[in-house]
Every structure is written in structure tokens, then in C-alpha cells.
Structure 1
Amino acid sequence: MATIRDVAAKAGVSAATVSRIINNKGEATPETIARVHKVIKELGYKPNVVARSLTSRKSNTIALLVPTINNPFFPELARGVEDVANSHGLNIFLCNTDDEREKVNNYLVTLRERYVDGIIINSLNLTNKDLEELDANGIPTVTLDRTFSTHDFSSISVKHRVGAQLATKHLIDIGCKRIGLIRGPEDDLTAVQRMWGYRDYVKDFDWFDQSWIALGDFSVRSGYICMKELFQRHPDIDGVFASNDLMAIGLLKAAHEWGRKVPDELAIVGFDGIDMSQYTAPPISTIKQPIYEMGKMAMEELLRLIKEPQSKPNKLELDIEFILRESSMK
């Protein structure tokens, strides 16, 4: 593999001159610049990216922190980020944090040391201090969705409470009399907002109390377990809003085992609009988030902050869409 010294020797210049030309620093005659680039091409020389980032404090790399890659929501989000980043010649460093504070902290330390050009973050375990330290190090950030947004930096989320209201109202409108909720984790802001959207429509019914809400963790398994709990507590349940599509898939299995026909005896609505929700039996009605578009917008906002470091942050809240499918067609 060719080195910078090989390029310098063949071009008849010093290694320092080659370095300056590669990094667009200092002066050299047009003839020298052309000769050096010609030799670089002939030898197939590839500059050391790490060394260049140490010099320029830029790496042409963007980091994306997500809580898990097991939920199909996040790969689709990452694809939106990646497509925009790649179109601008940037690389993506994907960080799977498992929603653990220690992993989030370790990644942030590593990313500062590697001089990433910006970070997009979706994590419950992010603090205002984290964002301030990144800002102090000249690293712009955009937070997404589940991350708290009461900070002074750019953020993108969707109207979770409105989506939950639409889901619950739909179940009421099709004639459901006893509607349960399988919610997400207690410390997840999106889960809390969706829970309040559900409560907005059921809180005044005389049958409603907290026992109609089962606590899940956004996994298929938790949807299955929570639905069995709701069947045991309330055998007369005839409608369920699941706070994400994965839990809705799990509760479909529980309904089948309990002998409940969907949608005739149990209507179901999920949340997210992941692709697999349309391939279940029956397909699941859902509140669709603009997942891919959210990733694209986050990357576009980060590019704006990189190019205009003194610009003001943007806080965007995106619309959702109700998708009617067989799981709630009565």
C-alpha cells in the first residue's frame, strides 16, 4: 500500500507539501498540485482518515445513536439518515445503546475523541449536560422522538398524543365498549404521551380505572404477556390500543390463544406503521409515523447546523396518519 512518502518521492516534493495539498492548506503552484494529484491516482494512495481528522478535527462522519436495532422502526429511521448523509459524502457510525446510560456515555466520549461532525440521538438516557458538552466541543446535535426535547438544541418528534387520541376514538366509533391500553415503559416520553392520548378519551367512562392499562416494553413478547393480563382482569374487553406495532403483533397471538376473533370480538390498533404490521393475520390498523422522512429531516437539520454553526436550532413536531386495516374493521 502506497504511503505519503511514496507519493512525495515520485512527485519530487516533500511529504509536508503532499499533506498540505491533500488538506487544501498552504500554497503550491498549480503544476505541483496537478502533479501530486496525478501521482496519488497512479499509486492508489488513500490518506489516513484518522490522521486527517486529528489535524482538521473533522472526520466526514456522522453518528446515530439508537436504543435497539431489533425494532424495525429504527433501521427504517437509520436508512433515512444514511441516504441523506451518503448523498453529501458523509459516513454513518451506528451506535446501538440498548437504552443503557453507561453505553450512551461511553459512545459520547468515543465520538468526541473521534471528532465526528455531528450526532443524531434517540435515547432515554441523554441529559442536558450531555448536549451542552457536545456543543462546547463544537459537535452539533439533533435529538429524535423518545429523547426529551425541553432543551436548547434541535429536535424532531411526532404528535404522539394526537395519534393515541385518533386510535382510541376509532375504537369507540366502531362500537367498542371496553377498551384497554398496552403502554410502553414508564420512563419513555413517547409512551407517556400515548398513554395520555388514550386517557383523554376513556377517563370519563364509568368502567375505566388503571387496571385497563398494562405495562409493556415495546417488544412482541410484552404485548403477548400484557394482553393475557388484560384478558384475566377484564374478560369483557373488546378493544385494545397497543402503544406500538410490535406489541400489537404479540397481542394477536394472545387473542388467538384466548379464542377471541379479531376484529369481531376484539378490535386492535397499533402505533408506528412498521412494514410488517400489514402482513400479519389480520393486518393491523396503526398510527403511522413518517419514520423514513424523520430520519431524512434529522440529517438535513444536522447538515444545516454543520454548515451554519451560529444558526438557531429548530424544533419540529411531525403529523401522524391513521391507517385502517382488518384488525379494526367491524
Structure 2
Amino acid sequence: MAATLKIIADKAGVSKSMVSMYLNSHPLSAHMAEKTKTRIRQAVDRFKYKPSYLARALSNKKTNVIGFICGDIKSPFFAEKAAAMMKAANEAGYRLQIMVTEWNFDKEFECFDFLLEGSADGIIFYNRGLPANSAYYKKIIEEKLPVVLIAGRIKNISCVSADLEPGFDQAVGKLITSGHKRIVMAHDPENIIKYKTYCKICKKYKIRPEQIIYKDPYYTGKEPLISLGKKIAKDKYADAVIAAADYDAALLMQGIREAGFKIPDDISMVGMDGIELGEYFYPPLSTIGQPQNELAAAAVSELIKKINNPDAKSENLIIPSFFIDRKSIKPRSHHVQLEHPKQ
């Protein structure tokens, strides 16, 4: 019988996760006692242990399961992303196994190990910070593991992402032609790519980019963002706000209303992500949408290509975003005829 991670762990007298940490040079393995490392190393040598993914690949056994590692499925955006991924996997003849990490690096580590131990043929990973110098990056490259990233490009690993520029271009253009003078972007620090795209579009239309930075409500709860909405309204900081997520826009709008102001009469609001629930916000939220079904289908297709041919070239697939104009933007006292800069 081939050695498994459990056999190695039992022989060494440690947990499976500890064996995985040691084998993958996880940062926490530096804190292991030398005696523990020695026991693990001896067990690995004795049983000639190899990760079961490689053994399964050599024997051509497949599970017809795709693993999807995601930090959160409570928010509407990630719930819709998971649903789109499941639909795409099913249509391709695969089942989807969803692993939720709560944006915890150690949990991401455990999910990778669990799936690669034989639970899935390949992994689609929503990347918010897989470092290119990590043990996992090296493992993916060296062992040619079938992994596709959603967002967060890394060299030599296939990635599928949305091109945010078209959606931003349409949204900012709409606000400018509607007479808005001060268009501010509100975002958390991890949404730097969205902010850079906003700055690029502002430069294109020769307006000054401005930002309001807040902490992700996933970590802080709702109240700080609601309070920020109140402050934006009372200080008359902007006549239009682009929020980095539709959910964040909803909290800002709640704060603006609680401060006694109206949307879009006093402040126009644009969200990002294009969640279906935004249509039922009050007022219905104009937003920069991401093509979830197309992104999911492209990710599944790219992953199946890597499953069937580990030597297949890694691709960066980019699908354009778009603007959904609902009822959270109101023209100001004067309109502007937009002149697109020469290309």
C-alpha cells in the first residue's frame, strides 16, 4: 500500500498539517523542534513518501472534481462567483468542491494540501496574496500542478481576470457628462488595482483622482463604513462616490441616508462587482460589473487544459468589465459634453 500523509503523520507522532508544513517549507515550520523534523524526515524516507497528487497523475486516476479555494462565500459577490464556477464545472462534466479560507493563509495552505492529496484533479484559486517566493508557488511550478488563479497574476501560472478599464471608463464618463465635479473613489488598501485603474481613467479625462481609504468591512463589521458614509455627506466631500464593492456602496449609502442626505439627489453612488442584489438596493445601484459566468467558464476551461496536459502553456485570460446604469446617479445642474482624448 502506498504511503499517505496520515501514515507519515502517525509514524512521526504528529498531525497531518504539521507534516504538510514541514514538506512544503511553510514559514511556521521554522518553529518546529528539531526532534519533530527528524521524526518526520525519517518517516518520509522509510516509506518513500511522495505527494499523492503525483502518484495519482502517474496512474492516470481522476476524480472529476475541481477544487475552488475562496476566502469568503458569505458576501453576495463571492457567492455569485462560486455559483458561476459550479455551473461552469458541471457543464464541463466536473463537480466543484468549495473550500473557504476566511482569508487566512494557514487555511489556504491546508486547503491546497487537502485537495492535492487526492480530493481534486485541479484547483481554481481566488488569489489575494499568493507570494511568488512561497513554497506553494514553487511547488505549483516544479510539479506542474494544475492550478488556475482568479485575479492576482503570477508568472508561469494561468490566470483569469476582469479588465476593469472598460467599466471604469463608462462609469466615470457617465458621471462627468452628468455634471459631477468631484468624483472620489472609496476603497480598502487591498483594492489597489481598482484604485490604479480609477486613476488611469481620471488621467484620461483630465480630472483629479481622489480617494477615501477604509478597512474592509469583512474584518471591521458594518458600522465603520456606515459612519464613513455619514462623514462624506456631512463634510460634502464629494458629489459622486465610486465604492470598491457593491456591498461597501450599500453601507456608505446607509450612512449617507442616516445623515439626512439623499441618493442620488445629493450624492451619486457607483459600486463595483455588478452583483444581482444591487438591483434591489435603494435606490438600485449603478455599478461596474464583472462577467462572472464568462470568467468562470474561462477558468474551468483553462484548468481542464492543464489537467489533461501538464506541459500546456500558462495563459493570462482577460475579460472586459462593463457598466450597469441603474438609478443611483443623478445629473447635476449642468451637463458636460464629453470629448474623448485622442488615442
Unaligned runs of 5+ in 1: 1-51
For 1:329, the equivalent position in structure 2 comes to 330
Deviations 1:267-318 (A, max 9, x none): 1111111001011111011111101221121111111221232221221111
User: Cα offset for 1:116?
Assistant: 2.2
* Larger Rg computed on CA atoms: 1
User: Cα offset for 1:161?
Assistant: 4.1
For 1:29, the equivalent position in structure 2 comes to none
For 1:152, the equivalent position in structure 2 comes to 156
Q: Does 1:225 align with 2:227?
A: yes
**Matched ranges for 1:286-305 at <5 A:** 286-305=287-306
User: Cα offset for 1:237?
Assistant: 2.4
Contact kept in structure 2, 1:214 and 1:230, CA below 8 Å: no
Contact kept in structure 1, 2:246 and 2:272, CA below 8 Å: yes
SS in 2 for 1:58: coil
Deviations 1:69-120 (A, max 9, x none): 0121222222222223223442222111111111111211222222521100
For 2:213, the equivalent position in structure 1 comes to 214
**Distance in 1 between the 2:161 and 2:92 partners?**
24
Contact kept in structure 1, 2:124 and 2:147, CA below 8 Å: yes
Q: Does 1:140 align with 2:146?
A: yes
Contact kept in structure 2, 1:100 and 1:125, CA below 8 Å: no
User: Cα offset for 1:199?
Assistant: 5.0
Q: CA RMSD in A?
A: 2.7
The 3 A distance-change label for structure 1 pair 193 and 94 is farther
SS in 2 for 1:182: strand
SS in 2 for 1:113: helix
SS in 1 for 2:185: strand
For 2:313, the equivalent position in structure 1 comes to 312
Residue type matched to 1:296 in 2? A
Deviations 1:239-282 (A, max 9, x none): 11111111111111112112212112111111111001011111
User: Cα offset for 1:135?
Assistant: 4.0
Q: TM-score, normalised by structure 2?
A: 0.71
User: Cα offset for 1:202?
Assistant: 8.2
Q: Does 1:268 align with 2:298?
A: no
For 2:129, the equivalent position in structure 1 comes to 125
SS in 2 for 1:327: coil
Residue type matched to 1:69 in 2? I
Residue type matched to 1:158 in 2? A
Deviations 1:44-74 (A, max 9, x none): xxxxxxxx96975533221101111012122
Residue type matched to 2:140 in 1? L
**Distance in 2 between the 1:198 and 1:264 partners?**
25
Residue type matched to 1:214 in 2? I
For 2:94, the equivalent position in structure 1 comes to 90
**Distance in 2 between the 1:81 and 1:191 partners?**
23
**Distance in 2 between the 1:293 and 1:223 partners?**
31
SS in 2 for 1:59: coil
For 1:7, the equivalent position in structure 2 comes to none
User: Cα offset for 1:154?
Assistant: 0.9
Q: Does 1:200 align with 2:206?
A: no
For 1:35, the equivalent position in structure 2 comes to none
The 3 A distance-change label for structure 1 pair 264 and 192 is closer
Unaligned runs of 5+ in 2: 1-54, 332-343
Contact kept in structure 2, 1:164 and 1:197, CA below 8 Å: no
Contact kept in structure 2, 1:167 and 1:322, CA below 8 Å: yes
Q: Greater CA deviation, 153-162 or 290-299?
A: 153-162
**Distance in 2 between the 1:179 and 1:325 partners?**
18
Identity %: 27
SS in 1 for 2:266: coil
SS in 2 for 1:114: helix
**Distance in 1 between the 2:270 and 2:182 partners?**
14
Deviations 1:207-237 (A, max 9, x none): x6x6x423242658254233233235x3252
Contact kept in structure 2, 1:149 and 1:155, CA below 8 Å: yes
Q: TM-score, normalised by structure 1?
A: 0.73
The 3 A distance-change label for structure 1 pair 59 and 151 is same
The 3 A distance-change label for structure 1 pair 247 and 203 is farther
**101, 106, 111: which one aligns with 1:102:** 106
Q: Does 1:171 align with 2:175?
A: yes
Contact kept in structure 2, 1:53 and 1:115, CA below 8 Å: no
Contact kept in structure 1, 2:141 and 2:156, CA below 8 Å: no
Residue type matched to 1:200 in 2? K
